[in-house]
């Protein structure tokens, strides 16, 4: 706590106003903003904006924000019409890639292979420092989709409380954002370090 307070200086008037509004010192700390550049997201931009709203509705220490094209440090969201692989987050760019061939195909229930909102909430979960859960419980947005049959997980688009908490807690201990390592498993709190920049 001391380390965090020492690197953030609030103007005195702001501190007084926050105190008077009844907020604790901890919650008065400004949230860290993670920026997303949607200029290459194409038709998925609307789903990305829904996903941003979902995360922002419950996160306390981190907020996601749409920024204009080419903003330095932003996570680029890109529609890829060619690659036939699962959607992924690549921390080396950083970018989230919507691989259209494994999102759009309509299944027997009339729904697409993957839901674009769940796809963004999951991949942005990686950019916020979350690893996959170790379970098959699809109500966690960070549970990887079953191989070859992702649809079952894609009806769940809203993170569980433990997933929001994992992002907030990781930020409060100084994890890099957008994440380049130190990914936290939301079901157990264990930290995983991936050597590859790309996580599906
Ligand atoms: Zn994943």
Q: What is the pLDDT of residue 127?
A: 98
CA of 169 to the centre of ligand 1 (A): 20
CA of 71 to the centre of ligand 1 (A): 25
CA of 132 to the centre of ligand 1 (A): 6
- Which candidate, 133, 107, 127, places its Cα nearest to that of 199? 127
- Structural domains of the chain, with CATH: 1-30 (no CATH), 31-199 (3.40.390.10)
Q: What is the pLDDT of residue 35?
A: 98
Q: How far apart are CA 107 and CA 51, in angstroms?
A: 23
* Mean per-residue pLDDT of the chain: 88
Structure tokens at 62: 């981190």
CA of 199 to the centre of ligand 1 (A): 6
- Which candidate, 142, 164, 150, 68, places its Cα nearest to that of 103? 150
Residue 156's Cβ-side half-sphere holds a number of Cα atoms within 13 Å equal to 16
pTM: 0.85
Is residue 180 a contact partner of residue 91, using CB atoms and an 8 Å limit?
yes
Structure tokens at 61: 């220490």
CA of 139 to the centre of ligand 1 (A): 14
Is residue 184 a contact partner of residue 129, using CB atoms and an 8 Å limit?
yes
CA of 27 to the centre of ligand 1 (A): 30
Q: What are phi and psi of 152, to 5 degrees?
A: -55, -35
Q: What is the pLDDT of residue 28?
A: 53
pLDDT tens, residue by residue, 86-115: 999 999 999 999 999 999 999 888 889 999
pLDDT tens, residue by residue, 47-93: 999 999 999 999 999 999 999 999 999 999 999 999 999 999 999 99
Q: What is the spatial order of strands in the sheet that 88-90 belongs to? A: 62-67, 32-40, 75-80, 95-99, 88-90, 198-199
């Amino acid at each position: 706590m001391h380390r965090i307070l020492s690197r953030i200086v609030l103007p005195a008037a702001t501190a007084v106003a926050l105190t008077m509004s009844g907020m604790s010192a901890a919650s008065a700390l400004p949230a860290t903003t993670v920026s997303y550049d949607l200029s290459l997201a194409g038709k998925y931009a609307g789903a990305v904006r829904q996903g941003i709203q979902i995360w922002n509705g419950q996160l306390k220490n981190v907020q996601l924000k749409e920024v204009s094209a080419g903003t330095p440090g932003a996570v680029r969201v890109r529609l890829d019409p060619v690659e036939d692989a699962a959607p992924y987050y690549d921390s080396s760019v950083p970018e989230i890639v919507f691989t259209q061939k494994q999102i759009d195909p309509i299944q027997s229930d009339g729904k697409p292979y993957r839901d674009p909102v769940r796809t963004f909430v999951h991949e942005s979960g990686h950019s916020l420092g979350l690893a996959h859960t170790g379970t098959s419980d699809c109500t966690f947005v960070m549970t990887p989709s079953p191989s070859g049959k992702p649809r079952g997980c894609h009806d769940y688009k809203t993170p569980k409380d433990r997933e929001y908490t994992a992002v907030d807690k990781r930020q409060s201990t100084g994890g890099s954002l957008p994440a380049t390592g130190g990914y936290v498993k939301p079901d157990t709190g264990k930290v995983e370090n991936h050597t590859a920049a790309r996580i599906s």
